[in-house]
Amino acid sequence: MDKIAIVILNWNGADMLRKYLPSVLANSGDGVSVYVADNKSSDDSLTLLRNEFSECRIIELEKNWGFAEGYNKALAGIDAEYYLLLNSDIEVTENWLRPLVTFMDSHPDVAACQPKLLSICDRGAFEYAGASGGFIDKYGYPFCRGRIFDTVERDEGQYDGNIEIFWATGAALMVRADDYNTVGGLDGRFFAHNEEIDLCWRLRMLGKGIYCIPESKVYHVGGGTLPKSNPMKTYLNFRNNLTMLYKCLPEAEIRRVMRIRMLLDYLAAFEMLLLKRSPKDFMAVLRARREFGRWKKDFKAEREHIMEACMVKKIPGRFDFSILWQYYVKGYKRFSDLPMADG
């Protein structure tokens, strides 16, 4: 049994592996196994791994399962105390694992944690995908310490304290294997996007802690699979976010939140069409809402199970305000500006 299994999910990422895998192998220490799970790549990823990184353990998946189910398939065959899900475009730093492991070992009630994510392109700035820990507003919009929507802050040490968060980034996620398996892992139906927030929400509903440990830091390229403007990413983000809300929102909130989200989603769609002149993104939002309406029934039994198992009424890190209102109306662009006392 491994103490820590670092698992990198790869799909046609030979260039990323060649560039960033050496930092993982050089800085992860003894007693750590590094796995690369390949989602049926068509490039030379497997040849590269066998010829240049023979110390890695290779898991060959029979098709491209996507991010969520790809990890579920890979982790099912790994026996470890901690899984560490790591993107292939991450450069780690010396001793980056030590603060994460030390914290998890001394806090058995904590299910998962993340390091501080900084940008490889601008090493003095946070990285979009997780920054210094993730939170969520009452309508399901995620944001981070160090990043709200497209406003990314400089890292000036302002968010260097350990903090309990709502969600930890899937780009560099350390999770206790027992907890991961207890809640059934990532939701493979999501394919990609919002799957780590959904996982963390389910863990938090069982009373488990999620933390950011900024003493550990890594550098992330970001957008490795789909650029921000890609309509497929728009579709997956909207569809999966709505599905996550349906699965996890308390009964007392779900009707009101879903009505408001319908209005906000259509406003967002028309903004994409009229202001951003992106008809493909406009259609992606409409398609996402149609698909959510079509497959919502498939999640009914799971929602009932999640509600029955829930042990926490109010989860820290899910704030009782609209981040859209705070950002666009009040003009609060930095995490430190937000009225956290209202949360």
Q: Where are the domains of the chain?
A: 2-220, 231-312
Structure tokens at 185: 């892992």
Only one residue has tokens 């829930």, namely 310
Q: How far apart are CA 185 and CA 204, in angstroms?
A: 13
CB proximity list for 25: less than 8 A, separation 6 or greater: 34, 53, 55, 56
Task: Average the pLDDT over 30-40 and give the result.
Answer: 95
Q: What is the mean pLDDT of residues 31-56?
A: 96
Q: Are strands 142-144 and 134-136 parallel, antiparallel or unpaired?
A: antiparallel
And the tokens for 236? Answer: 């997956």
* 340 compared with 88, residue with greater pLDDT: 88
What percent of the chain has pLDDT above 90? Answer: 93
pLDDT band at 228 (very low <50, low <70, confident <90, very high): low
Query: What pLDDT, in 10s, does the model give residues 238-258?
Result: 999 999 999 999 999 999 999
pLDDT band for position 336 (50/70/90)? very high
pLDDT score at 224: 39
Alpha carbons 131 and 125: distance in angstroms, whole number: 9
Helices (H) and strands (E) in the chain, counts: 11, 13
The two three-digit tokens of residue 65, written as one number: 């399962």
| pLDDT score recorded for residue 30 | 83
Supply the pLDDT for residue 31: 85
Question: What proportion of the chain, given as a percentage, has pLDDT over 70?
Answer: 97
Position 100 pLDDT exceeds 50: yes
Residue keyed to tokens 């389910």: 202
**Predicted confidence (pLDDT) per residue in 147-169, tens digit:** 999 999 999 999 999 999 999 99
pLDDT at 226 over 50: no
3-state helix, strand, coil in the chain (%, to 5): 45, 20, 35
- DSSP for 102-170 reads HHHHH-TTEEEEEEEEEESSSTTBB-TTTTT-EEE-TTS-EEETTEETTEE-B-SSTT-S-EE-SB--T
- pLDDT tens digit sequence for 250-296: 999 999 999 999 999 999 999 999 999 999 999 999 999 999 999 99
CATH 3.40.109.10 fits 2-220, yes or no: no
pLDDT tier, 29 (very low <50, low <70, confident <90, very high otherwise): confident
* Segment 187-198, tens digit of pLDDT: 999 999 999 999
Over residues 93-102, mean pLDDT: 97
Q: Is 213 exposed, middle or buried (0-12, 13-18, 19+ CB in 10 A)?
A: buried
- 342 pLDDT higher than 90: no
pLDDT tens by residue, 103-137: 999 999 999 999 999 999 999 999 999 999 999 99
Mean pLDDT rounded to a whole number for the chain: 95
Residue 316 is predicted with a pLDDT of: 87
Phi, psi (degrees; rounded to nearest 5) at 38: -100, 125
Running DSSP on this structure, what letter comes out for residue 318?
B
Residue with the bigger pLDDT between 3 and 224: it is 3
Residue of 292, 282, 183, 204 whose CA lies nearest to 245 = 292
- Could you tell me the pLDDT band of residue 52, with boundaries at 50, 70 and 90? very high
Spatial separation of the C-alpha atoms in residues 16 and 18, rounded to whole Å: 5
